[in-house]
A and B are shown apart, each in its own frame.
Chain A
């Protein structure tokens, strides 16, 4: 049986050039489906990787209870002070001062280089402790801003995606003018999508009094989070949601990444239905043009099953080629390409498309599924080609 299947399959595959037009159309349509799916998955993966790569288990993030994101959180300077003075599990520096950073988070407009359109950018007001509660922060160009001035430092991703943030430039954000004095990197994490300036200046310019929106604290150990949470629950003056940074960003990433996938998959599936019709048409044509050959083989003694498997393999091979073309194209065109989208904080998160092995497998599976269903009916049909077709002239 395997010899029969092998022979029929070989004949089918060798005859593909005779149907080059239809075969190429099928390959292209399946490549497009795979490409669209992989594009969305690459976006989702990249976004998720950027946010998830940001967190540290040794840093606690505190927001007002129920606020879910920094943007709609609000905390007082008393809250910050109480945590600095009384909270357990907080790491301290050599001088015994707690590593706690109260931060403000406001939205400003930036102009995207790619589209020349305005998009929201996060302007973070930070104090002197901000660097103590972050991993991998380094100034790659220029210097850190001076406290109390209108200086700011911008993340490397902001510089890449938005115009007007080159080192030394003066930029107007809202009604205020700022001078870019430094470019920073945090190793590709989400903080690179932010602009940082002095907390007190931001509080003043944006009329926030002494309030902050989030508090970050370095923990003595990851396990200290539970002590901190237990203490906060028993502390009537506080109403906080406390997570470690890893969990915080995983939650932040989840919504947008899932949304991207929710758009990507249905779109790919709708396109897949179109591609399936194309594959079906191609395979029908394949069987039609080989009716006499198939009937001849069956007259010689080949089984209908072998004819059917041969047709199915042809369909799967075309689909796999399409899937591979789509995957390679998306990898070459998009992998590592920087883009930005709206994050859960209603600000732009800059991320890199990430075409992962898992998403390539998903794309190939989809391609093969299209090939299978596109080839199914033609394959069944080829098993039942009337033997009397042997007498047909072509």
Chain B
């Protein structure tokens, strides 16, 4: 069996915030590797650093010390401009509250990451259609977010996250605002993206049943991984 190439290498990663004169450590000396094609669910109590870790992976926050490497690129060392470009090429974000632009249609929302590429208008349209097809919302392309259900909005957000074909999808409580049925649909979609399209997915969740859809579960507490669990047969 061929060894799977590593996508992320987190080395001796520490993150702390300063509140007044007090320094609050979120986590210290965290080291881990995320292989390409992995689907990890990161769990843990509030304040354990799950979302902070996701932010560091996505380059929207910087570590206090240590290194975040993605395919050999020191993400934590990139300038703001290069970091924005890196994010646009490598990362797709999915947020708990969908973060869609309320004045844009579903298709326009999905097209946003493509505006940062050199694709022509026609190519962009094709890519948007494909992305909406994948999440099963091609018939809702012209709808604005408020005309869609929560589950549909999150699927539009997933389409936006995958449309530029990023290497990794970073999901912050993607089902946290949804009912069980919609949540399962979203998780199935993520699983499909992982299995069929080979997307690496890192998902932060509080929900144990959501975590079961991942290949691996990592439990973070007080800045340390306290439990690593393999899901030999992820939920279907």
Given contacts A15-B103, A292-B99, A390-B99, contact A7 B60 (CB under 8 A): no
What string of 1s and 0s marks CB contacts (under 8 Å) between B67-107 and chain A?
A: 00000000000001100110111000101110101111000
Residues of B88-133 contacting chain A, CB below 8 A? 88-89, 93, 95-97, 99, 101-104, 112-113, 115-116
A3 touches B87 (CB 8 A): no
Indicate if the CB atoms of A296 and B95 lie closer than 8 Å: yes
Q: Is the CB of A300 within 8 A of B60?
A: no
Nearest CB to that of B157 among chain A residues? A296
Q: Closest A-chain residue to B89, C-beta based?
A: A301
Indicate whether A7 sits within 8 Å of B115 (C-beta atoms), given known contacts A303-B81, A387-B61, A388-B55: yes
Judged by a CB distance under 8 angstroms, whether A237 is at the interface is no
Q: Select B104's contact among A11, A390, A391, beta carbons within 8 Å.
A: A11
- A296→B60 CA distance, assembly (Å): 10
Q: Is A116 on the interface with B (CB-CB < 8 A)? A: no
Task: From known contacts A301-B84, A387-B60, infer whether A4 and B116 are also in contact, taking CB-CB under 8 Å.
Answer: yes
Shortest CB distance B172–A (Å): 6
Q: Which among A302, A304, A391, A394 is the interface contact of B51 at CB below 8 angstroms? A: A391
- Taking CB as reference atom, which chain B residue is nearest A7? B115
What residues on A are CB-neighbors of B55 within 8 Å? 387-388
Given contacts A293-B99, A387-B61, A390-B99, contact A301 B116 (CB under 8 A): yes
Contact A300 B93 (CB under 8 A): yes
For B172, the closest partner residue in chain A by CB is A391
The one of B80, B95, B101, B113 in contact with A390, judged by C-beta atoms closer than 8 angstroms, is B95
When the two chains form their complex, are residues A388 and B60 in contact, meaning their CB atoms are under 8 A apart?
Answer: yes
Mark each residue of chain A from 282 to 320: 1 if its CB lies under 8 Å from any CB of chain B, else 0: 000000000011001111111110000000000000000
Flag whether A114 is at the interface (Cβ < 8 A): no
Q: Select one of A7, A296, A303, A388 contacting B99, CB under 8 A.
A: A296
| Contact flag A394-B112 (CB < 8 Å), given A299-B58, A388-B55, A388-B60 | no
Contact of B60 among A11, A293, A299 (CB under 8 A): A299
Which A residues touch B95, using CB under 8 A?
Answer: 296, 390-391
Complex formed: what's the CA distance from A135 to B84 in Å? 73
Identity of the chain B residue whose Cβ is nearest the Cβ of A292 in the assembled complex:
B99
Shortest CB distance B68–A (Å):
15
Residues of A within 8 Å of B116, CB to CB, are: 3-4, 300-302
Residues from chain A with a CB closer than 8 A to the CB of B84 are 298, 301-303
Q: Are A299 and B112 interface neighbours, CB within 8 A?
A: no
* Min distance, Cβ B154 to any Cβ of chain A, angstroms: 14
Alpha-carbon distance A391/B93, docked complex (angstroms): 11
Whether B97 contacts A394 by the Cβ 8 Å rule is yes
Given A388-B55, A388-B60, CB of A14 within 8 Å of CB of B112? no
Q: Which residues on A sit within 8 Å (CB–CB) of B172?
A: 391
Q: Which residues of B contact A297 (CB under 8 A)?
A: 101, 112
Cβ contacts under 8 Å, A303 to chain B: 81, 84
Q: CB distance B115 to A4 under 8 Å? A: yes
**Which A366-394 residues have a C-beta within 8 angstroms of B?**
387-388, 390-391, 393-394
Q: Which of B51, B96, B102, B116 has the most A CB atoms < 10 Å from its CB? A: B116
Asked if A300 and B87 make an inter-chain contact with CB atoms under 8 angstroms apart, the answer reads: yes
| Residue among A10, A296, A301 having the largest count of chain B Cβ atoms under 10 Å | A301
The answer to whether B102 and A15 have CB atoms under 8 Å apart is yes
Q: In the complex, what distance in Å separates the CA atom of A18 from the CA atom of B81?
A: 31
Q: How far is the CA of A299 from the CA of B84 in the complex (A)?
A: 7
- Chain A's nearest CB lies how many Å from the CB of B104? 6
User: A7-B112, A11-B104, A301-B116 are contacts. A391–B88 as well, Cβ < 8 Å?
Assistant: no
Q: Nearest residue in A to B114 (C-beta to C-beta)?
A: A3
Given contacts A388-B61, A391-B96, contact A293 B87 (CB under 8 A): no
Chain A residues whose C-beta falls within 8 Å of the C-beta of B80 in the assembled complex: 304
Which residues of the partner chain B approach A387 to less than 8 Å between Cβ atoms? 55, 60-61
Closest-by-CB residue of B relative to A298 is: B84
Q: Is the CB of B87 within 8 A of A299?
A: yes
Q: Which of A3, A15, A304: most chain B Cβ within 10 A?
A: A3
Q: How far does the alpha carbon of A10 sit from the alpha carbon of B104 in the complex, in Å?
A: 9
* Residues of chain B with a CB closer than 8 A to A292's CB: 97, 99
**B170 to A, closest residue via Cβ:** A299
Q: How many angstroms between the C-alpha atoms of A15 and B101 in the bound complex? A: 10
- A293 near B101 with CB under 8 A, answer yes
Minimal beta-carbon separation of A146 from chain B (angstroms): 77
Q: List 17 A-B contacts (CB under 8 A).
A: A4-B116, A7-B112, A18-B102, A296-B99, A297-B101, A298-B84, A299-B58, A299-B87, A301-B84, A301-B113, A303-B84, A390-B93, A390-B95, A391-B51, A391-B95, A391-B96, A391-B172
A residues in contact (CB < 8 Å) with B: 3-4, 7, 10-11, 14-15, 18, 292-293, 296-304, 387-388, 390-391, 393-394
Contacts A11-B104, A15-B102, A292-B99 known; 8 new A-B pairs at CB < 8 A:
A11-B101, A296-B93, A297-B112, A299-B87, A300-B160, A303-B81, A388-B61, A393-B96
Q: Which 8 A-B pairs have the closest CB atoms?
A: A301-B88, A14-B103, A387-B60, A296-B99, A3-B115, A301-B116, A301-B87, A301-B84
